[in-house]
Amino acid sequence: VRFPEDLEDDNTTFNPEYSHQVFGDDEVAFGYKGLKILLYYIAGNLSTLFRIEYTSKVNEKFDCVEADDVESKIREIIPPGFCTNTDDFVSLLEKEVNFKPFGMLLHTYSVHNEEAGEDITYQIYKADMTCPGFREYHERLQTFLMWFIETASFIDVDDERWNYFLVFEKYNKDGATLFATVGYMTVYNYYVYPDKTRPRVSQMLILPPFQGEGHGAQLLETVHRYYMSSPTVLDITAEDPSENYIKLRDFVLVKLCQDLLCFSPGKLMQGFSQEMVMEAQQKLKINKQHTRRVYEILRLRATDMGDAEQSRSYRLDVKRRLIGPYKKKQRELAKMRRCLRPEELTNQLNQIDLNMQHEQLEESFQQLVSDYRRVLERLAQA
């Protein structure tokens, strides 16, 4: 909500992707007709208005069943101090002009908005719990995780090893410059013996109204650039990354790596090398596993897949990596031959059908190439 009229504007409304973490696996609130759970956030500081509306509700006295206590379920995830009536909320909205982003400005960029017909400015900040007011703001911000990240949990903000990176949109209201929350990322700094750290991305969310505009890529690249300048950082990784995050990371890392000398077309065609691993880690804080994916994507760009020899060489190179888990199964099988009785061995062999392995390998390869092509298409448009 930026203006009072946004309260009545359905165009500013967005619905949760997930509600099982609040309402159970069935995602059901029992006992209501026409139930509406209304959560409004002021665009900048995320002050909250919470209301429940319904046309009717079951009554224990007459219906012998009790309706779910929806209000207490929501209260469990939103911090105290929220508004319950519109007038209080609108009076807070008038004070929004005083809200300023927390922490240190890292990056400013603009995105062309077709609807508005103009470039809109965005800024990325790094904050921590020592910033006045940030702890309370973060409590409100993290409530979005419950609706948009499938396995979300709230973090221990008293642990000083957390870093917070925030994206804001700058906009004008009555001649004043205001800021709207776009999204954020939390990163945990793990200790690596003897004197390094390994920042690990824990949570990343771009709010639905801003998705598909490139903010995730801007945020991830900014975070990488922030840690790249630190001599104590070994590499950057992610906790339990989703498929969408992996695709985003592929794009950002390829964009960062494509100008390194070790990824020149001539060197790409000679195969994956230790030089690539070293340069990507030292200059860009990228680990070996992610560097290998970057190499495969850039080599695909340098490969003429219409040329039989080049195409075959690329396919074999990628499949040699993909076959790793299958080779592990073969080693396990060799152990089984020494330990199992014949009938037990036959049972295990049935589970490791070689033809099926070849089919699965080819399927994995084709899926990978399809994903890689999408990264290259996005890179060509960047």
Q: What is the CATH number of the domain that holds 86?
A: 3.90.360.10
The catalytic site residues sit at 239
Sequential DSSP letters for 334-347 = HHHHHHS-HHHHHH
Question: What are the helix and strand counts (H, E) for the chain?
Answer: 15, 10
Is 313 within the bounds of a domain? no
Domain boundary among 300, 331, 353: 300
Residues linked to residue 197 through DSSP beta bridges, in sequence order: 191, 233
Is 126 within the bounds of a domain? yes
Q: Are 96 and 43 within 8 A, CB to CB?
A: yes
Domain boundary among 243, 270, 300: 300
Q: Are 111 and 214 within 8 A, CB to CB?
A: yes
The Cα angle at residue 316 between residues 310 and 318, in degrees rounded to 5: 105
pLDDT at 59: 83
Are residues 278 and 168 part of one domain?
yes
pLDDT at 40: 97
Against a cut of 0.85, is the pTM above it?
yes
| 166-191 burial: b if 16+ Cβ within 10 Å, else e | bbbbebeeeeeebbbbbbbbbbbbee
Are residues 114 and 180 part of one domain?
yes
Are residues 284 and 203 part of one domain?
yes
Q: Does residue 194 have a cis peptide bond before it, meaning omega lies within 30 degrees of 0?
A: yes
Q: Are 89 and 40 within 8 A, CB to CB?
A: yes
pLDDT at 329: 59
Is 276 within the bounds of a domain? yes
For 303, residues 6+ apart whose C-beta sits below 8 A from its C-beta are 269, 310, 311, 313, 314
Are residues 157 and 132 part of one domain?
yes
Is 311 within the bounds of a domain? no
Are residues 243 and 136 part of one domain?
yes
Are residues 281 and 133 part of one domain?
yes
Task: Give per-10-residue mean pLDDT for the chain (382 aa).
Answer: 93 92 92 95 97 90 83 94 95 95 97 88 97 96 95 91 97 93 97 95 96 96 95 94 95 97 96 97 96 98 96 95 71 63 60 70 94 97 88
pLDDT at 317: 95
For 137, residues 6+ apart whose C-beta sits below 8 A from its C-beta are 45, 46, 102
CATH, residue 233:
3.40.630.30
| HSE, side-chain direction, 13 A CA sphere, residue 19 | 11
Are residues 116 and 53 part of one domain?
no
Is 277 within the bounds of a domain? yes
Other CB atoms within 10 Å distance of the CB of residue 309: 8
Question: Angle formed by the axes of helices 215-228 and 243-257, to 10°?
Answer: 60
For 7, residues 6+ apart whose C-beta sits below 8 A from its C-beta are 1, 40, 86, 89, 90
Number of domains in the chain: 3
DSSP-based three-state secondary structure for 159: coil
Is 259 within the bounds of a domain? yes
Are residues 275 and 330 part of one domain?
no
Is 31 within the bounds of a domain? yes
Q: DSSP H helical segments within the chain, as ranges?
A: 20-23, 60-63, 70-75, 86-93, 134-141, 145-148, 215-228, 243-257, 265-268, 274-284, 288-302, 308-322, 324-339, 342-351, 354-381
Q: For tokens 């997930």, name the residue.
A: 18
Domain boundary among 270, 300, 330: 300
Beta strands at 196-206 and 237-238: parallel, antiparallel or unpaired: parallel
Is 8 within the bounds of a domain? yes
Other CB atoms within 10 Å distance of the CB of residue 29: 19
Which range marks the domain in which residue 350 is found?
322-381
Are residues 189 and 156 part of one domain?
yes
Are residues 258 and 174 part of one domain?
yes
Q: Are 85 and 134 within 8 A, CB to CB?
A: no
Are residues 178 and 152 part of one domain?
yes
Are residues 105 and 85 part of one domain?
no
